[in-house]
Amino acid sequence: MQLFLAPECLPFAIAAVMLAALTAIEIACLLLGFSLGEVIDKSGMDDHSAIAGLLSWLNVGGVPVLILIMLFLGFFAMTGFILQSLAQALWSPLPAILAVLPAFVLSLPAVRVSSRSIARIVPRDETYAVDLSDFIGRSAEVSVGPLDQGLPGRVRVKDRHGNWHTLRARAGKSEEPIAIGATVLLVDHVSNVYVAIRAPSDILASKNPSSMEQP
């Protein structure tokens, strides 16, 4: 704790606090039926910006931008505290301005490597990559809910290629709230928010209710 509060570790302490705050905010947003990460992703970025190449190298597009930010904050804070601990053990802690640069440089490849692994296991909203109407008529599982006519929840659905997507959805007007884990049928969409109803019994009885095939 003494090292955490030391002036020479201030940039790394701030990064750690920001990571904790972003994690708490994202959890709160998901409970309310939307995602801060989705808002950041939908804001887009300028392909001609100076950082576009760096972001591409860091695997932007493979994982949500918010995940990359959180990974960087975590690695930056961890690397900085390790560097300062080693410096203190060998002689004395480095001035904060001198410790920031190596911590920053060492954090980037760590983010790149870890984001490649996370991309294989973290689902994300990929509706930008497919036509919105492709999901109409497919069954899905409620992952954030319950679904009602208020704030959108989230459902997980497979496309015709077997890839998982996480979509925003509300229950149809005549539907009672639909609980997390329930199987629903996507019947319409308004903008990028889908309208879901309880899945008919024939879908519930099928062997793979999460990927109903379309003709």
> Tens digit of pLDDT for each residue in 137-157?
888 999 888 898 888 888 988
pLDDT of residue 19: 93
Does pTM top 0.75 for this prediction?
A: no
pLDDT(202) > 50 = yes
- The SS3 of residue 214 is coil
**Which of 73, 95, 118 is a domain's end point?**
118
- 23 pLDDT more than 80: yes
C-alpha closest to that of 61 among 76, 78, 47, 81: 47
User: pLDDT at position 76, please?
Assistant: 94
Same domain? For 8 and 62 the reply is: yes
How far apart are alpha carbons 210 and 160 in whole angstroms?
11
Which domain does 143 fall in, by range?
A: 127-204
157 and 80 housed in the same domain: no
Do 141 and 109 lie in a common domain? no
Longest dimension (CA), the chain: 71
- Say if residues 45 and 132 touch (Cβ distance below 8 Å): no
Written as six digits, the tokens of 113 are 């490597």
Please indicate, yes or no, whether residues 106 and 62 belong to a single structural domain of this protein: yes
pLDDT for residue 162: 72
Task: Round to whole Å and give the CA distance between 209 and 141.
Answer: 9
- pLDDT value for 46: 43
Is 215 within a domain? no
Residues 6+ apart with CB under 8 A from 103: 11, 12, 76, 79, 80, 83
